[in-house]
Structure 1
């Protein structure tokens, strides 16, 4: 890997910290307030589970290559990247909504934003856009599928698993070198180029006592004792007012995650409740589509946001 040409950013991000709800959150900013207009508001990007805000660098660069140099902000969710951990031993979905609300109060208190989320972040922004519709001009969901429906009788088992796991220390696997971290990224996503993996690795992990550790609170590994209620989530999706773009990779197979518990037809029926929806599918892309095909993604984003 050492002989691989380095990935060079087209747009350099500024690293900043902002306190939201008592926790210090890490944000990256591309561009400044002079680029913001009512027609080109701040674009806020929110990453998925076990990822970081720097994950969007390739998409920001691809937008720049198209001549789109809007102001962009990406935040590390609590418990990920350089943001503070949640302060407890578990993470709750409503806290992400609260953090996002506080973030927009801080960075765009008087104007709507364009809001993008990937995976877990996609689920958060869908719910947020339904409950704070006045805050969003355009909404983009990158493979935030939601979760399979749960049943009430699953609650006791979930609670038992959570209580048992609270008694166990959660750990993430350490890596001996930054190169090993890059190799881990490529193993998870074989479409990721070596240059991009090497660029992402120091944003995704930091060195502690001679080992490289992923920048994610191990508490995220614990069973979530709160059931996913499809009807409640769809009620927020149905309240979305902003034009919405759904983007997925053509190689994403949700059966690898949930088997037959979440049929594609179920997901399609959920999308159907969104009032103003456009859909796009990227060729030769999987779940990390903003890594796999940032140029193709940028073309869809530029067209939709315009």
Structure 2
């Protein structure tokens, strides 16, 4: 699948492969013999999300970006819950398929950044350099929350989750701009091509399994995450947006930033960058700057 949008410089190509019992859609940019960068998108997003950033690379790269399970054109597993370790298993299988030996460059945004961060501490020998775009993790939890979390999950299982549909593709683009007001009309129109499709009723539906909306019954155990981060041997580039919206679930900004910094202190080799005039979708808001910082980091 390619786009005809006028500002797209680097057209992507699609490939479908079998990964752990699922048909996985993998998007590629660049020539196969160029240095590889694996990119993992965030929650309720798709691989095409990285297009604007890829367009600003000045070096030759082979960018490999899958639609994660249950997103985009990759199969959903057909279950009523998603388990985070499955993303690690899928990434491991993808790397074995494309780069069976040696270390690779890994980049992730949001949920995808949480995946690559855990992976880099679990298989440190497989990661050359790591780029984390706002992979904060989740709010700290406590064991006493477990009964309520299990109860909420059981209650949600009694009703079929649904995602809203839209009357037109332009309505999908408008929805994307509502979430991110910095998104230009052209970029929103481009993303809507990959973020949605027309169904049999003539409505436009989001390419994401509604089961992603279900509450996870498992608590986020931050100490385990930091234990993984401590084992990362690759240099890490951390990028955070100055206008990120994570404070609505991480807590007030001052307290939330202290917790983020506490977590980041467990990464042995860390370079931090604050991206100005950008929100959580910083690769949409400042793609040229991100491309510049990423290339400088990977090439040094």
TM-score bracket, shorter-length normalisation: over 0.9
Equivalent-residue separation in structure 2 for 1:112 and 1:58 (angstroms): 26
| Contact residue 181 and residue 212 of structure 1 kept, 8 A | yes
User: Is 1:289 the counterpart of 2:279 in the alignment?
Assistant: no
Once the two structures are TM-superposed, the CA of residue 6 in structure 1 deviates from its matched residue by 4.3
Q: Where does residue 126 of structure 2 map in the other structure?
A: 135
Q: Where does residue 39 of structure 1 map in the other structure?
A: none
2:42 to 45, 48, 52: 48
2:259 aligned counterpart, secondary structure: helix
Equivalent-residue separation in structure 1 for 2:248 and 2:194 (angstroms): 27
Once the two structures are TM-superposed, the CA of residue 32 in structure 1 deviates from its matched residue by 2.6
Equivalent-residue separation in structure 2 for 1:30 and 1:231 (angstroms): 36
1:24 aligned counterpart, secondary structure: strand
Q: Where does residue 249 of structure 1 map in the other structure?
A: 241
Q: What are the within-5 Å matches in structure 2 for residues 69-218 of structure 1?
A: 69-209=60-200, 210-218=202-210
| Contact residue 246 and residue 277 of structure 1 kept, 8 A | yes
Once the two structures are TM-superposed, the CA of residue 111 in structure 1 deviates from its matched residue by 2.6
Q: Where does residue 218 of structure 2 map in the other structure?
A: 226
| Contact residue 173 and residue 213 of structure 1 kept, 8 A | yes
Once the two structures are TM-superposed, the CA of residue 129 in structure 1 deviates from its matched residue by 0.1
1:124-148 deviation line (CA, Å, top 9, x unaligned): 1000000011111000000000011
Equivalent-residue separation in structure 2 for 1:179 and 1:253 (angstroms): 25
1:46-102 deviation line (CA, Å, top 9, x unaligned): 000000000000000011xxx212111111000100000022110010000000000
Once the two structures are TM-superposed, the CA of residue 260 in structure 1 deviates from its matched residue by 4.3
Equivalent-residue separation in structure 2 for 1:92 and 1:6 (angstroms): 36
| Contact residue 234 and residue 273 of structure 1 kept, 8 A | yes
Once the two structures are TM-superposed, the CA of residue 249 in structure 1 deviates from its matched residue by 1.1
| Contact residue 7 and residue 196 of structure 1 kept, 8 A | no
| Contact residue 237 and residue 273 of structure 1 kept, 8 A | yes
The list of structure 1 runs, each at least 4 consecutive aligned residues, that deviate by more than 6 angstroms after superposition, is none
Equivalent-residue separation in structure 2 for 1:81 and 1:30 (angstroms): 17
| Contact residue 246 and residue 280 of structure 2 kept, 8 A | no
Once the two structures are TM-superposed, the CA of residue 256 in structure 1 deviates from its matched residue by 1.9
Q: Where does residue 263 of structure 2 map in the other structure?
A: 270
Once the two structures are TM-superposed, the CA of residue 231 in structure 1 deviates from its matched residue by 0.7
Give the RMSD, CA atoms, in angstroms.
Answer: 1.3
| Contact residue 7 and residue 199 of structure 1 kept, 8 A | no
1:252 aligned counterpart, secondary structure: coil
Equivalent-residue separation in structure 2 for 1:265 and 1:146 (angstroms): 14
TM-score (norm 1): 0.94
Equivalent-residue separation in structure 2 for 1:85 and 1:197 (angstroms): 25
Unaligned runs of 5+ in 2: none
| Shift in CA distance, 248/7, structure 1 to aligned 2, threshold 3 Å | farther
2:23 aligned counterpart, secondary structure: strand
TM-score (norm 2): 0.95
Equivalent-residue separation in structure 1 for 2:24 and 2:64 (angstroms): 12
| Shift in CA distance, 102/6, structure 1 to aligned 2, threshold 3 Å | closer
